[in-house]
Chain A
């Protein structure tokens, strides 16, 4: 398990997602104070996590020539993240809690203490990570306990703050995201507690329940789980946006045959022909606009085409489709009849009647039309249209 968690691929995947979340929040740096703090929180957290990797640490220490400088910078980044998170809690609460302002000062003081202790603790380039090599040293022990206590206090503050808001949030995306962020804090808190235990075990010989390597593996697992929960909470909406976009892209492609068939019959309903299929697929930014136009053009054509079908033919189609409310199947059958009558030179002479869909959203309309497109191709619907035309003596035999 420990080897798996330390695998470069797992770490790289996690760190890539974290940096992606940071990049997505760069524009927020120029917006409100709250959004700026949110972006800085993610930047600080991600920097701190990046500096936990042994390879990154070695590269940074070698480049600067200062042994274990990467550890100090990583810890300062994590405490800065705690300052930003408490600042967010302060902003969200409207600055009513003086304790939150005091907490920010306390984290600042802890950062100064870490820098001061870093200067006196024994460090060597050939013995990276002073916590492992000099764990019994008083300065090292103090340094590590101050950092873990600061991290734990920050996470506890955030856990309490998020829990209060999570309980008040209505069911939905916001509540789910707050729960994930709260879980991240709780897991982070567990990690900090485990690290204190580890430090006391190395420094003072306090016994642990697990072997050292097992303890380290559990801590690593908790850290990864905390980070994944945090990222999932913050990226929940982005993930929803991507999922919605993909669903619309698939729907847009699936509507093409129906759109092509209807607009071939009623060309005047097309505002402008869509671009070449390849360009059409690549124009990601205008997908929704093109999908909207496709749905409107289908509906315009449907309304005009159904004018070819009299109330009598409609009633026959309804009867052919069986008992109960045939709903979309009736629309599909009427559309099929209309297309055949128009192809034979018929003229629209009746009021266009279509089952009304109350959903005014693009996604709701897409669902309705994808279902209509499926039913128009349905052999049972086509057979019903055949039977209606065969029973109507006034219509040409070509329709049969």
Chain B
């Protein structure tokens, strides 16, 4: 799939999706949890990322979603790892049974885990979609946040002249 086609396909999947404002990963996770009616927990990996392991994993159990993520190379990179997993959720991706990933998580009870997806290489259409969705969420959140909109009359005055970013 060409980049532009992938872009359009992911935009279609995100139709109607609104990021919280002001944007933060915590606010986004709370919003996704509300919309899915399930708790969503973030678990940072307690050790540095190693090349043989995925840097992010989404584990869906019967009543909650868990995102396990690596430290990343920077705050923005770590945010992208988490957004990638949220991308899998928003696209309703599933993993095929007997994948390498399932073998990786042998300690998890198969009866408990419904879905497991991880961010490794962009070797499958699902991984490509999740990565593009992560980028599109960031775009919706705004690349340059700009000054915060003041409240009250000053905020209304700023809106009239377009002095701050629209709420």
A contact residues vs B (CB 8 Å cutoff): 25, 28, 32, 34-35, 37-38, 88, 91-94, 165, 168-170, 172-174, 177-178, 181, 233-234, 236-238, 240-241, 244, 248, 268-275, 286, 288-289, 292-293, 295-296, 299-300, 302-304, 307, 348-354, 356-365, 368
Contact = CB atoms under 8 A, between A and B. Distances in A.
B162 A234 contact: yes
A38 to B, nearest CB: 4
Nearest to B47: A351
A141 to B, nearest CB: 36
A351 B143 contact: no
Contact of B6 (A181, A272, A304, A349): A272
B163 A38 contact: no
A252 to B, nearest CB: 12
Contacts of A299: 72-74, 76-77, 80
12 contacts: A173-B147, A174-B154, A241-B144, A268-B123, A271-B122, A271-B128, A272-B6, A299-B80, A303-B70, A359-B76, A360-B74, A363-B143
Nearest to A351: B48
Interface stretch (B13-21, B49-57, B94-102): B49-57
Interface residues of B, number: 49
B131 A271 contact: yes
A173 B164 contact: yes
Contacts of B145: 361
A244 B135 contact: no
A315 to B, nearest CB: 16
B34 interface: no
B153 A92 contact: yes
Contacts of A168: 154
Contacts of A269: 121-122
Nearest to A304: B51
A274 B3 contact: yes
Contacts of A304: 51
A169 B154 contact: yes
Nearest to B50: A351
Contacts, number: 164
Interface of B: 1-3, 6-7, 47-52, 55, 70-77, 79-80, 121-123, 128, 131-132, 135-136, 138-139, 143-147, 150, 153-154, 156-164
Nearest to A306: B73
A52 B48 CA distance: 69
A292 B145 CA distance: 15
A234 B153 contact: no
Contacts of B72: 299, 303
Contacts of B144: 241, 244, 361-363
Q: Which 8 A-B pairs have the closest CB atoms?
A: A351-B48, A272-B3, A348-B51, A360-B75, A268-B121, A357-B74, A299-B77, A307-B51
Contacts of A358: 75
A174 B153 CA distance: 13
B159 A302 contact: no
B74 A92 contact: no
Contact of B161 (A38, A348, A364): A38
Given A91-B156, A237-B162, A307 B131 contact: no
Contacts of B3: 271-275
A300 B72 CA distance: 8
A296 B76 CA distance: 8
Contact of B163 (A173, A288, A364, A365): A173
Contact of A92 (B7, B71, B121, B160): B160
B164 A237 contact: yes
B156 A92 contact: yes
A364 B79 CA distance: 14
Contacts of B48: 351-353
Given A177-B161, A289-B135, A362-B143, A356 B150 contact: no
